[in-house]
Structure 1
Amino acid sequence: MNGRSLTMQTAAALTGLLLSAMVADAAELKVFTSVALTTALDELAPIFEQKTGNKLTISYDLAAVQKKRILDGERADVIILTRGMMDDLAKQNKLAPGNIVNVAGTPVALAIRAGAPKPDISTADAFKQTLLSAKSISYADPAKGGLSGVVAGRAIDRLGIAEQMKSKTTLVPGAQSPDLVAKGEVELGIAQASEIVPNAGVQLVGPLPGELGSMTQFSGGIGADSASANASKALIDFLAGQEAGSHFKTKGFEPGG
């Protein structure tokens, strides 16, 4: 056997050892997060997995539901919920000591069917007239903890048109409002911009105007019971970084915060 063959065999052996070490060190991370982040994280998860060798198991649900699961004792390595919820979890010792990191924000916004003329929502009064003129509207049921639904319901109450809107409003359990708009089942939908932008059947009109609107800031932290703190921190740092930020932008988010 010549020297070159030995060198190649040695290189192959070293590569094998390195791969074995990576597999041995690879972590399986359980992630709890809001359904609003679905489209972005479904795109980013395989990128992170390929870069690190770590495996992600992501659970999506309403942010309020995920917070309750953690408070009830369920374990997650990485938790990404609204900033206020994360602060609450930290106070109750459900997060590992360390910084809570802002990952991305998204405004509550109005959606209409793709190709339809955009209504005026530039002021509170214009938004009020747009709602009153609409034949039907949909948003997440505030009673189920949907953040955009809470904002929508509060805005309609503040505009003084709750009674007029009641008969033409369809409440949904989660992020289905843009789908109803796309199917033509309702004329307008109020949802997180991140739930509107990826849906090809709808178009984003814009955020709710002025004080009626709300920016939802999603932040990440490491679960108090995580056995993979380093890998968990690597995921949060990746999601808060520049590469992930470009993906978040295409999904209707504002990166970081």
Structure 2
Amino acid sequence: MRTRLLNCLAIGLVALPALSRDAHAELAVMISGGFALAYQELLPEFERTTGIKVVTTSGASQGTGPTTIKAQLERGARPDVVILSKEGLEELIAANRIVDGTEVGLASSPLGAAVRAGSPRPDVATVAALRESLLKARLITMPGSTSGMFIEDDVLPRLRIADRVSLKVTAPGVESTRAVPRWVESRKEL
């Protein structure tokens, strides 16, 4: 993934050949939360090896609201490179916000789940066990981005429990994992 992400940043250079000759070159990158940690780790190396300063903005790959990548592009943002989920990318290509054929696959990202320390490990070995574990959960917290939308709009309805679980949708990225301990602590005070 490291090489692919560096290559993706380099793609921006293809469209802007003068950057490599400009001492004050900048590359504008818009990124969603799913790639943020890897991107932040690789960014200093990219800037050091290319001499190009990268200006980064962020937004959710999908969803609604003024900070989604789609909304920012609709308001006139003009990044050189956009890094986001495949689903979000497909929406932007369909809306003619991203040029079809310019996409590069960077990684696949499985979904994960976590429970509060000391809680019993949920059984997710079968679909029936997953369903029961989700029904027993006091709260299911998920990001308001592609993975959260998939769980809320696809997984929970397929399990026929969408209206029977307590959901909290948080800001995309690592904020959703921080929300669970805060919610648990707030419940202790009641």
Give the structure-1-normalised TM-score: 0.54
Match of 2:13 in 1: none
Give how far 1:78 is off.
0.6
Instruction: Report the residue type matching 2:70 in the other structure.
Output: K
Q: In 2 relative to 1, CA 61–99 (structure 1 residues): closer, same or farther, beyond 3 Å?
A: closer
Decide whether the 8 Å contact of 2:88 with 2:146 is kept in 1: no
Match of 1:67 in 2: 70
Give how far 1:114 is off.
4.8
Decide whether the 8 Å contact of 1:137 with 1:186 is kept in 2: no
Q: In 2 relative to 1, CA 79–165 (structure 1 residues): closer, same or farther, beyond 3 Å?
A: same
Instruction: Report the residue type matching 2:161 in the other structure.
Output: I
Match of 1:151 in 2: 150
Match of 2:10 in 1: none
1:31-51 per-position Cα deviation (integer Å, ceiling 9, x unaligned): 111122221111111111111
Decide whether the 8 Å contact of 1:136 with 1:186 is kept in 2: no
- Does the alignment pair 1:82 with 2:85? yes
1:55-113 per-position Cα deviation (integer Å, ceiling 9, x unaligned): 11111221131022223321101111222433443455544575311112212221223
The one of 171, 174, 177 equivalent to 2:172 is 174
Instruction: Report the residue type matching 1:80 in the other structure.
Output: I
Decide whether the 8 Å contact of 1:29 with 1:55 is kept in 2: yes
Distance 1:76 1:101 in 2: 16
Distance 1:120 1:127 in 2: 6
Instruction: Report the residue type matching 2:86 in the other structure.
Output: R
User: Secondary structure of the residue that 1:107 maps to in structure 2?
Assistant: coil
Instruction: Report the residue type matching 2:28 in the other structure.
Output: K
Q: CA RMSD in A?
A: 2.8
Decide whether the 8 Å contact of 1:140 with 1:149 is kept in 2: yes
Match of 2:165 in 1: 165
Match of 2:103 in 1: 100
User: Secondary structure of the residue that 2:110 maps to in structure 1?
Assistant: strand
Instruction: Report the residue type matching 1:110 in the other structure.
Output: A
Report the identity percentage: 31
- Of structures 1 and 2, the larger Rg is shown by 1
Distance 1:61 1:77 in 2: 15
- Does the alignment pair 1:121 with 2:119? no
1:139-160 per-position Cα deviation (integer Å, ceiling 9, x unaligned): 234xxxx212211213122212
